């Protein structure tokens, strides 16, 4: 394997280094998204059940013990539950915006690798063909296949490596984007639900009743 990569020259090694980096980023983000994913229905059901008993601190404790952006925005809303609906919404919006960069962190690097590696492979192909053409000119008019083999082999290796890295990297990127979109959707849904719950709870308390 390494002998094959070595035959592709410096660009082949650059492509392989990009493959290692892409693999590391993918598994790191996958672990992050797995930790950030929760069963939103179960989580919100628990929060609603606790709030019916009028125990905000207990609901905050549940949010603290639950990982992920959705639980974070719920916790922020609970911490601001004594404020107006507009103030709660603003606090939750700031919390949600702070979660977005964490979810997107290192994703652009993965997309860049997916787009650049086939271009690096193409550059390697061009350089390999240039080597083959130079060998042909040097040995003209007595040209043998062996004179061209090294350059052509280099061209094929870099092209194959570039595509071989780009295709799974792009698939991995799309998988992570799908996971991130699900997490963001859960966060938006949790935001809407908790604001509505706390607003109705405030109205009930102001009216002197219980939900």
Q: Where are the domains of the chain?
A: 2-206
In angstroms, rounded to a whole number, what is the distance separating the alpha carbons of residues 54 and 59? 9
In angstroms, rounded to a whole number, what is the distance separating the alpha carbons of residues 41 and 52? 17
In angstroms, rounded to a whole number, what is the distance separating the alpha carbons of residues 155 and 9? 10
pLDDT tens per residue, range 26-56: 999 999 999 888 888 888 888 888 888 767 8
pLDDT tens per residue, range 154-204: 778 888 899 999 999 999 999 999 999 999 999 999 988 888 888 887 777
- Asked if residue 105 lies in contact with residue 94, where contact means CB atoms within 8 angstroms, the answer is no
User: Which of 27-31, 109-113, 206-210 comes out lowest in average pLDDT?
Assistant: 206-210
pTM (two decimals) = 0.81
pLDDT tens per residue, range 81-92: 888 778 888 898
pLDDT of residue 210: 45
Phi, psi of 110 (to 5 degrees): -65, -45
DSSP 113-177: HHHHHHHHHHHHHHHHHHHHHHHHHHHTTS--HHHHHHHHHHHHHHHHHHHHHHHHHHHHHHHHH
If one counts every other C-beta atom within 10 angstroms of the C-beta of residue 63, the result is: 25
């Amino acid at each position: 394997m390494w002998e094959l990569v070595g035959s592709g020259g410096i660009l082949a090694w650059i492509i392989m280094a990009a493959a290692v980096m892409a693999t590391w980023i993918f598994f790191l983000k996958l672990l992050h998204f797995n930790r950030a994913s929760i069963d939103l229905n179960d989580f919100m059901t628990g929060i609603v059940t606790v709030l019916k008993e009028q125990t905000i601190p207990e609901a905050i404790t549940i949010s603290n013990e639950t990982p992920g952006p959705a639980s974070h925005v719920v916790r922020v809303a609970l911490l601001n539950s004594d404020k107006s609906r507009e103030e709660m919404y603003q606090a939750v919006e700031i919390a949600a915006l702070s979660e977005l960069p964490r979810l997107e962190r290192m994703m652009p690097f993965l997309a860049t690798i997916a787009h650049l590696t086939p271009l690096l492979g193409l550059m390697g192909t061009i350089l390999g063909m240039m080597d083959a053409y130079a060998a042909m000119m040097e040995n003209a008019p007595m040209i043998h296949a062996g004179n061209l083999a090294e350059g052509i082999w280099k061209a094929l290796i870099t092209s194959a490596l570039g595509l071989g890295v780009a295709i799974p990297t792009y698939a991995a990127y799309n998988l992570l984007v799908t996971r991130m979109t699900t997490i963001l959707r859960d966060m938006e849904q949790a935001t809407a639900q908790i604001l509505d719950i706390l607003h109705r709870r405030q109205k009930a308390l102001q009216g002197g009743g219980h939900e």
